[in-house]
Amino acid sequence: MRLLVLTASPRTPDIATALERLALLANAEIHVLDKKQQANLRPYLAPRELVRFDRVLLDVPFKRLRRQAALLSSISGLLIYEEDACQNYLDSSKWKGAFSRFYRALPGARIIVTGASVAGRLRKECLDVTFLPKGYDPRSIFNEGLCRDIELGFVGRTASAAYGGRKALLDRLAKHEPLRLLRAEPGDDYRRILNRIRFFISADVGLGEYMAKNFEAMACGCLLFAFRQGEEEEAIGLRDGEHLILYSSLDELRSRLSWARSNPEAVRDIAEAGRLFVERSLNHEVLGERLYSELSKPWPAFSELSFWARFRARFLI
């Protein structure tokens, strides 16, 4: 397989490890694009360039792809990897509905999203969508065996409108428990803070999928307390009380925290099982292999697409 990969820099989280693994499996040419280059993909996707490739993988932020539908609609073998498609269904997001409109303009493309429920909703809109969960980079995120001097911690953003539910729950918890809301730059500082946290409090309320920080915390040996997402846990393979602790309300979270404080041996067992689970299933090398598997599947030729799909792509973008 001859593969063209266009990815973004800067990118958080960085999936370079996944793309390097993918390049070992496919004959890949990878271009890391700055913001200006991302906004104009035409030099990389000109017909004279595309004849060299069987597949094209785009890992570029939606806000820079969405205005290039006319260009992308004519590309065969196109796979888009998207980590923010949950915003398609968030009332608080300025991108609500925009992902659906964009994907409908690309009848020959396949889409990978990082939420099982999001994938299901997009498939109901007759879009070709696959679910792959987010993961973590084992080169920068790992258990260092440090003293866990922060009992309850959360590391990440709460200011965005999309994270309104997260902020509300964490603020309520902090009124009753010694929760520390922390920030850290990607890299060593972030890993070291995760390694100091005993119980990582995840609050992905209303997002419908698991953010990468859940798996990063597990990989660093934290016991993850995660807000239930419904079908996501089964789709990923996460089991409550075996890999992590789930909750659906503040009262349930506090009750399960009380149990954890009284059962240190069980806590160690669950945290270790969670670490081993993500190490085995959700590290970025595995993501690279799963991307290769998706890219290796047969692609419908444009001649096999319905008349209306081709009409929509050409005239209704």
CATH entry, 150-282, from 3.40.50.2000, 3.40.50.300, 3.20.20.70, 3.40.190.10: 3.40.50.2000
Which SS3 state, helix, strand or coil, does residue 81 take? strand
Residues in the chain: 317
pLDDT of residue 102 exceeding 70: yes
Q: In the chain, what are the helix, strand and coil shares in percent, each to the nearest 5?
A: 45, 20, 35
CATH entry, 2-134+285-315, from 2.60.40.10, 3.90.1150.10, 1.10.150.170, 3.40.50.2000: 3.40.50.2000
What is the predicted pLDDT for the residue at 163? 80
What is the predicted pLDDT for the residue at 301? 66
Residue span(s) of the chain under CATH 3.40.50.2000 come to: 2-134+285-315, 150-282
Question: What's the per-residue H, E or C state across 7-21?
Answer: EECCCCCCCHHHHHH
Residue with tokens 């980590």: 83
Calculate the average pLDDT of the chain.
93
What is the predicted pLDDT for the residue at 314? 47
| Residue 97 CB-half CA count within 13 A | 1
Cα–Cα distance measured from residue 43 to residue 202, given in angstroms and rounded to the nearest whole number: 41
pLDDT of residue 248 exceeding 70: yes
What does the longest C-alpha to C-alpha distance in the chain come to? Answer: 65
Residues 27-52 have a mean pLDDT of 96
Residue 233's alpha-carbon distances to 55, 98, 121, 205, in angstroms, are: 31, 26, 17, 14
Residues 88-101 have a mean pLDDT of 94
What is the predicted pLDDT for the residue at 95? 95
- Count other C-beta atoms under 10 Å from residue 233's C-beta: 18
Write out pLDDT tens, residues 48-79. Answer: 999 999 999 999 999 999 999 999 998 999 99
Write out pLDDT tens, residues 216-237. Answer: 999 999 999 999 998 999 999 9
pLDDT of residue 252 exceeding 90: yes
What DSSP state is assigned to residue 114? Answer: S
Please give the share of the chain, as a percent, with pLDDT higher than 70: 95
| Alpha helices by DSSP H, 114-187 | 116-124, 164-174
Query: CA quadruple 69, 72, 73, 78: dihedral positive or negative?
Result: negative
| Alpha helices by DSSP H, the chain | 16-25, 35-38, 47-50, 62-65, 69-72, 98-104, 116-124, 164-174, 188-196, 212-219, 231-236, 250-262, 264-281, 284-295, 307-315
**What pTM value is reported for the model?**
0.92
What is the predicted pLDDT for the residue at 56? 97
Q: How confident is the model at residue 206 (pLDDT cuts 50, 70, 90)?
A: confident
Backbone angles phi, psi at 111, to 5 degrees: -125, 140
Write out pLDDT tens, residues 3-33. Answer: 999 999 989 899 999 999 999 999 999 999 9
pLDDT of residue 317 exceeding 50: no
pLDDT of residue 316 exceeding 70: no
